[in-house]
Amino acid sequence: MKSQDETLEDWCRALLQAFELEDVEVDVNEVLALAGVAAHSVVRPAAPLTTFIAGFAAGMATGSGQAPDAVSMQAALGVARALAMDYAAVDTAAASPPPAAEPESAVFGRATDPASGPSANTRNTGA
């Protein structure tokens, strides 16, 4: 029987092959780590949403020629991780928001102002 890691690597390779992306390297553990940060910093369903949007952003950056695959992926994962952590900090410290963080890389700018937190139109309040 395969281990979880072997199964995930096989699944990743199958997905990449189905999308004709065999040459793309994916750090499965890095993607799973981002999912964990999003799930614990925002809400659990933020995990797949965050990883999808980070992957989409990385693909757009690579496709537009901004950066090679590896740079785009690391930048997108870093921006998403920082935003999720900022989101949690702003949510728990409404009286004193965290100091503004520098953008993760030159590939992606910040999607929100860390001092004001995520915009109201993108935040799921559950109402």
The predicted-structure confidence for 1-40, as pLDDT tens digits, reads as follows 999 999 999 999 999 999 999 999 999 999 999 999 999 9
The predicted-structure confidence for 76-115, as pLDDT tens digits, reads as follows 999 999 999 999 888 776 645 555 555 556 667 654 343 4
pLDDT of residue 126: 44
Model pTM above 0.85: no
Domain range summary for the chain, segments of one domain joined by +: 27-115
pLDDT of residue 90: 84
| Mean predicted lDDT score pLDDT of the chain | 82
Q: Which residues contact 47 (CB under 8 A, 6 or more apart)?
A: 35, 36, 38, 39
